[in-house]
Structure 1
Amino acid sequence: MVYVTRSEDAGERLDRVLARAWPQESRSRLKALITDGHLTIDGTVKDSVSVKVRAGQTMLLEIPPAEPAIPEAETIALDVLYEDDDLLVINKPAGMVVHPAAGNESGTLVNALLAHCGDSLSGIGGVKRPGIVHRLDKDTSGAMVVAKNDMAHRALSRLFAEDKENIERTYVAIVWGVPSPAEGKIAGNIGRSPRNRKKMAVLTTGGKPALTYYKVIENRPDSLASVVKCRLATGRTHQIRVHMAHIGHSLVCDPVYSKSRPVRHLSPSSQAVLANFGKQALHAQTLGFAHPRTGEFISFKAPLPDDLIAIYMALNLSLSFI
């Protein structure tokens, strides 16, 4: 950032001038930047905030990129489906954030992985995302793979980014209504909704290409809800939730993309289960891929969590697909 001092700045202390020049920065932040040598005046580094300035001086303040906070290891139980020296496959619970972010600095999958794997994750995939190859939404449960070394991370990241046809990723979802046809595909670019920037949407222009294959595997006789198996050909944010809502069959209990549905004819206990669920009825059931070291195709199935099983039971849907 550059600022040329004016006549009204002459004789003022440096810290006061900078506070007026860059009001978006706190005084303590400016002082720290100056004392760390990030300010030059007419090409000379200044590290004292008390110097007096003259009119016509050119100030250059460099703002270094923010250092990511280093996640701390936390002993959090993980449901491990498979583990070897190269990778780890887990059944992520709903409610767990994958990696730390503002407001979620602890209790994340990364915190748990650091405790589970120890130093083997150091530097793999970056400070804040060690070992993470792909992710699931906070409130989506199911199978995830994590790399434990550089070789596995590079291979799996490339596979998930460039070779999705050779990845088996199937999800089971409960949706309102019954999609027609019962089997098909949903194609539509996904990006930020122009009406609500906190939501994703299918866009006519812009966004990123997205393709979801779906198949109805069971439905209620009254067509209130159905079980749909989805296979991803791409991996966009909220892809299944957005695509199913786009064709008029949003996920049951989805707090973002689902409109409330009348369920008065269900029993009071079933209504209570639905009312208290508070997240999308979606589970990443199957995950398969080529092992980065052996090349062998391996596949894993993540059991449904108890609270999601309760949703199936509340809607009188069977669990025949398990």
Structure 2
Amino acid sequence: MAEEIDLQEQDDRELFEHYRFEADKGQALLRLDKFLMNRVENTSRNRIQNAIDAQTVFVNGNLVKASYKIKPFDVVTLVLAEPPRDTEVYPEDIPLDIRYEDDDLLIVNKQAGMVVHPGYNNYTGTLVNALSFHFSKLPTLPGNIGRPGLVHRIDKDTSGLLVIAKTEWAMTVLAKQFYDHTINRKYTALVWGDVLEDGTVTGYIGRSLKDRRVMDVYEEPEKGKWAVTHYRVIERFGYVTLVECSLETGRTHQIRAHMKSIGHPLFSDELYGGKKILKGTTFTKYKQFVANCFQIMPRQALHAQHLGFMHPRTKQMVDFDVSLPSDFQGVIDKWRSYSSMPEQ
């Protein structure tokens, strides 16, 4: 039973709301800790339970236990004594792999595992923290305070190229190109299954109703944002296929959600169901082979390999490419070798 301690009575503790979730009308009864696990990124069940025990989680304004069952339209809030720090940036001396730089912009090759900008549970060690150290002043887009230089992003465990604006002018021109979908972005991805032909995936991408960490593809416009991904086959390995994905739009987890929607989730993508054997044999040798691949590349097989755009100052088209990182190349080499062997 919820303890009758209303948020209004907590004013003297100066609590600040960090998260707020409202359960959908179709929400099945679900323990509070499991409900939050599905919605708060980069956390653990133990951390969620500690927050509940510390009385920083409220349901409909009341303190509850971890075993409380969430029902439709419940409002869950996570409050802490300090204000959210999403807009604070702390410079850190983190090495950057800069592939190009001039007075207006720089091209960075982001390593897998690096978060692009600070957010809840990721206040340090991000690309923005590194940029703030190496560059004393970078511009910020309206509504993106705390993300200096950024005009786009890629996921934490996706490697590859990002363009960073060094001036207000460059940021304005680059942001317009992203808005107009004139930026040329190509990703290399290893996906499950034998992709028979090149194609295009479309649909409205929005948050999953079952797991807020995941994006789903919908047919209804009101459920998400329109997204278009073109893909072409680079090389086939039987049970997996190496593809190139070109983006017309840049939605959250676009390639990951789109490829899963057509039955080809990214290899080793745990969040989208790709970190288990989806194609292949039942032989122990094959299972061990795939396990070894997962060990080499424990993150989704996605790399932002090409970036092309009109330079803000010269008005000339510029193109940048970066080779695959060692983990990705290592997995490709293993699959190429495996697929060339006699039938397993």
> Above 0.5 in TM-score?
yes
Check the 8 A contact 1:288/1:300 in 2, yes or no: yes
Aligned pairs (5 A) from 1:16-95: 22-23=8-9, 25-29=10-14, 68-95=86-113
SS in 1 for 2:14: helix
Return the alpha-carbon distance in structure 1 between the equivalents of residues 330 and 178 of structure 2.
32
2:309 aligns with: 289
Change beyond 3 A, Cα 1:21–1:102:
closer
- Distance in 2, matches of 1:97 and 1:134, equals 13
Residue 143 of structure 1 corresponds to which residue in structure 2?
Answer: 161
Distance 1:75 1:177, change over 3 A: same
> Is contact 1:215–1:229 with CA below 8 Å preserved after alignment?
yes
1:219 is aligned, of 229, 233, 236, to 236
Matching residue within 191, 195, 199 for 1:179: 195
Question: Which among 253, 261, 278 is matched to residue 268 of structure 2?
Answer: 253
> Could you say which structure has the larger radius of gyration?
1
Larger mean Cα displacement after TM superposition, 131-140 or 192-201: 192-201
Aligned to 1:39: none
TM-score by length of 2: 0.70
Aligned amino acid, residue 193 of structure 1: S
- TM-score between the two structures when normalised by the length of structure 1: 0.75
Amino acid corresponding to residue 82 of structure 1 in structure 2? Y
> Post-superposition shift, 1:134?
0.1
Q: 1:314 offset after TM fit, Å?
A: 2.1
**Letter paired with 1:226:** T
Distance in 1 (CA, whole Å) between partners of 2:110 and 2:268 is: 19
* Uncovered stretches (5+) of structure 1, i.e. residues with no partner: 1-18, 31-64
Secondary structure of the structure 2 residue equivalent to 1:315: helix
Q: In structure 1, what residue type is equivalent to 2:111?
A: P
How far off its partner does 1:189 sit?
A: 0.8
Question: 2: CA distance between counterparts of 1:188 and 1:20?
Answer: 42
Q: Which of these residues, 108, 114, 118, is aligned with residue 100 of structure 1?
A: 118
Coordinate RMSD, CA, aligned = 2.3
Q: 1:234 aligns with which of 227, 249, 253?
A: 249
Structure 1 residue 302, shift from structure 2 partner: 1.4
Deviations 1:255-303 (A, max 9, x none): 1112411564448466323245221100000000000111110000012
Task: For residue 134 of structure 1, give the secondary structure of its aligned residue in structure 2.
Answer: coil
% identical aligned pairs: 43
Specify the SS of the correspondent of 1:188: strand
Distance in 1, matches of 2:141 and 2:229, equals 30
Instruction: Please report how far the alpha carbon of residue 138 of structure 1 lies from its aligned counterpart in structure 2 after TM superposition.
Output: 0.3
How far apart are 1:129 and its partner, in Å?
Answer: 0.4
Aligned positions, number? 259
**In the alignment, what sits opposite 1:130?**
148
Whole-angstrom CA distance in 2 between matches of 1:247 and 1:21: 45
* Contact 1:288–1:299, Cα closer than 8 Å, also in 2: yes
Relative to structure 1, the CA distance from residue 123 to residue 193 in structure 2 (aligned partners, 3 Å threshold; closer, same or farther) is closer
What amino acid sits opposite 2:8 in the alignment? W
Report deviation, 1:194.
1.5
Runs ≥4 residues deviating over 3 A? 65-69, 122-127, 262-271
Which of 186, 194, 199 matches 1:170? Answer: 186
Distance 1:66 1:305, change over 3 A: closer
The one-character-per-residue Cα deviations of 1:59-86 (angstroms, maximum 9, x if unpaired) are xxxxxx9675421111111111110111
Cα distance in 1 for partners of 2:257, 2:6 equals 45
Partner in structure 1 of residue 325 of structure 2: 305
Structure 2: how far apart are the matches of 1:141 and 1:67?
A: 25
1:188 to 192, 195, 203: 203
SS in 2 for 1:244: helix
Match of 2:227?
Answer: 210
